Amino acid sequence: MTTVSSVMPVKTFQVDALPVRVYASQADLSQDVARVVQAYLREVLAAKGSAAAILATGNSQIKFLEALIQLGGVDWSKITLFHMDEYLGISGDHKASFRRYMRERVESRVKPRAFHYLEGDALLPMDECDRYTALLKAQPIDLCCLGVGENGHLAFNDPPVANFEDKRQVTIAKLDEKCRLQQVGEGHFPGMDAVPQYALTLTIPTLCSAKKVICIAPEKRKAQAIKDALQGPISTACPASILRKQPHATMFVDTDSISLL
C-alpha cells in the first residue's frame, strides 16, 4: 500500500446540488480522487463485506485508475465491477474496446471478485442489454466513477439520444458525430470511417442510481462541456448537466477544464 499525502483542491464551490472540487493539475486531481474513492470503498466493505462499482473508460480516467491501484488498501476480491459502455460490433481484443481497456488497466492488476463486461460483439445485442441489466439488478451499486465527453455525454448517452427518464438500464445508442470525432482525436481509431456508429451503454438513470457518483473531468478539451454542464440549463443538450440534481455526486475538475467558467 502506497502512502500518499493528501492533495487539497485549490477551490471548491457548489452548483445546485452538485459539489465541485477544482485542482491545480490533472495529477493532483487524480491523486485526491483516488484517495476519496479508496476511503469510500473501504468504508462500504467494512459496513457490509462487499461492494459493487461501475467504472468509466476514456483517456480522462487513466491517471485516476492508475493512482487508485497504486494507492492500494482496497480488498478487490470483495468488489464486483461493471463498466458503462462498449462499441457495437467490435471484439474484446480490438484496440479501442473498452473491455480490453478494463482488462489491461484494472482487472488483470487488482483481481476483483468479478468484472462483468458488455459484449459489444454479441450476436443478439438486445439480449445482451437484458443480460447486463439482470447483472446490474443483482446487487445495489455503491459507486459510479464517470467522465464527461467533449459533447457533454455521460457514457454513450450523447445529446441527441440522452434521456433523463429512461426506464431501461442498458440500451443501444447511436453515437453523434462529435462523440465519434473525439474517439478519433484520442487515438482509438484511425479515422471516422472506422468508428462504430452504435454502442451499448448504461442509461443516465442507471449511472445516477449508484449510492455515490464521482465525476472526473480534467483537461482543456472538456472546458466547453464543463461550462455547459455547470452554467447552462439542466437539459439533454448537455447530458452531464443532470449531475446538478444529484446530491450524492461530486465533480472533480482541474484548472484547465474549468477555464471557461
If one counts every other C-beta atom within 10 angstroms of the C-beta of residue 31, the result is: 21
Q: Which of 115-129, 159-173, 182-196, 198-212 has the lowest mean pLDDT?
A: 182-196
The answer to whether the CB of 112 falls within 8 A of the CB of 80 is yes
Q: What is the pLDDT of residue 6?
A: 76
- Give the whole-angstrom CA distance, residue 94 versus residue 249: 32
| Percent share of the chain, pLDDT over 90 | 93
CA torsion sign for 29, 62, 57, 4 is negative
Name the residue ranges covered by the structural domains of the chain. 15-254
- Give the whole-angstrom CA distance, residue 99 versus residue 42: 25
Q: What is the pLDDT of residue 5?
A: 58
Residue 201: phi and psi, rounded to 5, are: -150, 145
- Mutual orientation of helices 62-71 and 26-48 as an angle, nearest 10°? 50
CATH hierarchy code of domain 15-254: 3.40.50.1360
Return the higher-pLDDT residue of 188 and 55.
55
Instruction: Please write the tens of the pLDDT for every residue from 106-164.
Output: 999 999 999 999 999 999 999 999 999 999 999 999 999 999 999 999 999 999 999 99
pLDDT band at 2 (very low <50, low <70, confident <90, very high): very low
pLDDT band at 70 (very low <50, low <70, confident <90, very high): very high
pTM: 0.95
Return the higher-pLDDT residue of 129 and 188.
129
- Give the whole-angstrom CA distance, residue 207 versus residue 144: 6
Q: Which residue has the cell 497504486?
A: 70
